[in-house]
Amino acid sequence: MTRIVVGVDNSVGGRAALRWALREAELRDAELEVVNAWSLPLAEGWNSEWPADEVSYRQASMDLLEKLVAECAVPDGRRVTPVLVSLRCEGPAFGLIERCEGADLLVVGSRGRGGFTSLLLGSVSVQCVHHAPCTVVVVKPPA
């Protein structure tokens, strides 16, 4: 069976990638993994109001995944039941590249939540295009 991995975050680009991946998974009758890659904040710049335990971050990640899948699901298509993956890693690109080992396709948004909004590709999508062990589709959000 075809395996598609899509990396999502709470951005317009992440939503566009998820919508594209959901449709593609339906067309290919593929297994779809929806991945939110995250890491614990570094001590530098720590905000005392942030939760200090991994369980809180993992739950927030799963809540985000559930919300995004519900928001982006294809209403008129065959139902795809995505596998939701909250992935703790050293950085989103590293986590996605490792997670898509053995996959047929990795889908990412062209821009995430980074600060350089004038760039065509974000740092995660650039790293994935250059280093992923499978085909990568970079989805540009609608204008």
Mean pLDDT to the nearest integer, 26-32: 95
What superfamily in CATH does domain 3-42+51-139 come from? HUPs (3.40.50.620)
Phi and psi (nearest 5°) for 86? Answer: -95, 110
Mean pLDDT of the chain: 87
Structural domain boundaries of the chain?
3-42+51-139
Q: In what order do the strands lie in the sheet with 83-88?
A: 83-88, 31-38, 3-7, 105-109, 135-139
Q: 45: pLDDT confidence band, cut at 50, 70 and 90?
A: low
Kindly give the residue spans of alpha helices, DSSP state H, lying in 9-102.
12-28, 54-72, 92-99
C-beta of residue 105 within 8 angstroms of C-beta of residue 137: yes
pTM of the model: 0.87
Angle, CA of 66, 39 and 60, to the nearest 5°: 30
Which SS3 state, helix, strand or coil, does residue 132 take?
A: coil
For the segment 69-91, what is each residue's pLDDT rounded down to a tens digit?
A: 999 987 776 678 999 999 999 88
